[in-house]
Amino acid sequence: MESTLLSLAHGFAVAFQPDNLWYAFLGCLVGTLVGVLPGIGPLSGISILLPVTFGLNATQAVIMLAGIYYGSQYGGSTTSILMRIPGEASSVMTCIDGNAMARKGRAGAALCIAAVGSFVAGTFGVIMLTLVAPPLATIALRFGPPEYTALLVLGLIFLAYMSSTSLVRTLLMACIGLLLGMIGIDNMTGHFRYSFDLAELGDGIGIVPVAVGLFGLGEILSTPSHKVRGEVISPKFRELLPNRQEWGESVMPIARGSVLGFIIGIIPGSAHIISSFLSYALEKRVSKHPEEFGKGAVAGVAGPESANNAASTGAFVPMLSLGIPTGPITAVLIGALMIHGVPAGPQLVTEHPDLFWGFVASMYVGNLMLLALNLPLVSVFVTVLRIPYAYLYPLIIMFCIVGVYEVSHSIVDVYIMLIMGVLGYGLRKFNFDPAPLVLGLVIAPLLEQSLRQSLIMSNGNYFIFFSRPIALGLLIVCAVLLALSALAFALKRKDWRAKLAEAEAGEAQG
């Protein structure tokens, strides 16, 4: 512990060198822009700027490139809140309540809460990274395919809490999402499934084009069909900040989101995508007013936003202490380190303490910089809403197209987005919530792959899920959740059909 603090102090000495401070700032600034502009994601931002770092030393390079990564997580919520366009998979959930808050004139509050939540989660993540990285990373390695399968089963159960519409509608959407997730090359046999001879569909349908289409385009298409208020909202500065009640409602979700996000973030693989979904579902489950979710619940912004930031910091744990990537972005960072002659691996801390601790310390500083950058920007962003729809919406459509194309330079993705836009319009008209569809699409390929991998490992024996402690633990949580729901039904002495009819009736009224 003492030696950790000593090393961290040394790290701060490195991080506070003017050069390093400058590159941290540069990274955070670019990251904020990358996050806010829908046309460019953190992955392409980092890889385009990679050659720029050839002239720098390894520490400066990683400080700057990582700044782009965690910086982009701050700005990522902006378009979700203001325009209902998720810039990436992790901000899908922010679209729902963030945008609902904006409609109630609380866009500034939502943006502030997102920024502060991101700051708290980011800082919490760095503290955890400082204290427990090496032992935690070893545990994270035990998270193999069976554990993944169990986690995703938990995700499926949480689906039920995802949406404010009825359970039947939620499950219907989820099933469509799961089916869409089946498209692409079957990793286990090499067969192309439902790809219609398009190589672009080989890796399946991307999450970003679907999310942008369903949420962003669907929203825009449906606007002309309902009454649009003529006057433009121009909030006073005081109204930009969250009020006391909103702060109070966001404290616990931020705390829970930070912890949940960090835990999911350290798992190697693509699990970090589901951190914001799980956080949203968790908040809805524990909330005293679950009916507010979808209509501008503060917790629905605070939780997921914190979770995705903590997850992005958590992703550094396996990268720094084991040298294994948790996703494409950490893979690029590892590549950047290698180019600079610093191989990321288990010996990074001992062989390059300057770089390791300097980098960790720079993240404390970087998170502060980001808070200072983002809070004043809130008032700038909110003014975007003053642009009349006639001018704003064509611009948004342009950004949607550019942004979706930019993710993988694929015109097929743009078509997918346009199709999903039309579908999103239809879903909105018939009061279906697209969020479970997106979660289904995220979960399906992961669940299929990890289930089949597990069965390869066990040679077809399903007992593997009960013989590994972490997997067993997660499955027990699933069982308890299901039992609790069943109990609630039993206590009310109603069978599910009656409950369903009641729910449908309530919906028809509402």
Partner 1 sequence: MDRRTFVIGTTATATAFAAGPAFAQDAFPSRAVTIICAFPPGGANDIVTRPIAAALEPILKQPVVVETKAGAGGQVGAQVAASAKPDGYTLLSHNNGISGYAEVDKLFGRQPKTTRADFIPLARLIADPVLLVVNDQQPYKTLKDFIDDAKKRPEAIVYSSGGLYGATHLPVAIFEKATGIPKLRHLPTNGGGPAITALLGNNAQMSTQTVSATLQHIKAGKLRALASFGGARSKVLPDVPTLKELGYDAEYYLWVGIFAPKGTPASALATLSAALDKAAASDVFKNVVSGLGQEFAYLNAKDFEAFWTADAKRSDEAVQLIGKQG
**Could you say whether residue 145 binds partner 1 (CB under 8 A)?**
yes
Quote the least distance from Cβ 500 to partner 1, whole Å.
39
Q: Is 269 exposed, middle or buried (0-12, 13-18, 19+ CB in 10 A)?
A: buried
Q: Is 415 exposed, middle or buried (0-12, 13-18, 19+ CB in 10 A)?
A: middle
Which parts of 411-440 interact with partner 1 (CB under 8 A)?
none
**Could you say whether residue 353 binds partner 1 (CB under 8 A)?**
no
**Could you say whether residue 312 binds partner 1 (CB under 8 A)?**
no
Of residues 135, 83, 131, 87, the one with CA closest to residue 110: 83
**What gap in Å lies between CA 310 and CA 125, rounded to an integer?**
5
Build a one-symbol-per-residue string for 250-279: x at contacts with partner 1 by CB under 8 A, - elsewhere.
Answer: ------------------xx----------
**Could you say whether residue 141 binds partner 1 (CB under 8 A)?**
yes
**Could you say whether residue 189 binds partner 1 (CB under 8 A)?**
yes
Q: Which of 39, 105, 328, 353 binds partner 1 (CB under 8 A)?
A: 328
Tokens representing residue 477 in the block: 């949580």
Tokens representing residue 484 in the block: 């609790």
**Could you say whether residue 89 binds partner 1 (CB under 8 A)?**
no
Build a one-symbol-per-residue string for 202-241: x at contacts with partner 1 by CB under 8 A, - elsewhere.
Answer: xx--------------------------------------
**What gap in Å lies between CA 301 and CA 113, rounded to an integer?**
8
**Could you say whether residue 344 binds partner 1 (CB under 8 A)?**
yes
CA distances from 468 to 61, 136, 152, 298, 475 (A): 40, 18, 16, 38, 11
Task: List, in order, residues 6 or more apart from 282 with CB less than 8 Å away.
Answer: 158, 256, 260, 303
Residue type, 416: I
Q: CB under 8 A: which stretch of 162-170, 252-260, 336-344, 392-400 binds partner 1?
A: 336-344
**Could you say whether residue 44 binds partner 1 (CB under 8 A)?**
yes
3-state helix, strand, coil in the chain (%, to 5): 80, 0, 20
* Cβ atoms within 10 Å of 109's Cβ, excluding its own: 27
Tokens representing residue 305 in the block: 């936003």
**What gap in Å lies between CA 258 and CA 280, rounded to an integer?**
12
**Could you say whether residue 346 binds partner 1 (CB under 8 A)?**
yes
**Could you say whether residue 335 binds partner 1 (CB under 8 A)?**
yes
Which parts of 377-416 interact with partner 1 (CB under 8 A)?
408-410
**Could you say whether residue 457 binds partner 1 (CB under 8 A)?**
yes
**Could you say whether residue 343 binds partner 1 (CB under 8 A)?**
yes
**Could you say whether residue 345 binds partner 1 (CB under 8 A)?**
yes
**Could you say whether residue 331 binds partner 1 (CB under 8 A)?**
yes
Q: Which of 46, 128, 427, 444 binds partner 1 (CB under 8 A)?
A: 46
Q: How many helices (H) and strands (E) does the chain have?
A: 24, 2
Residues engaged in binding partner 1 (CB under 8 A): 43-44, 46-47, 50-51, 54, 141-145, 185, 187-192, 199-200, 202-203, 268-269, 318, 322-325, 328-329, 331-332, 334-335, 338-341, 343-347, 408-410, 449, 453, 456-457, 459
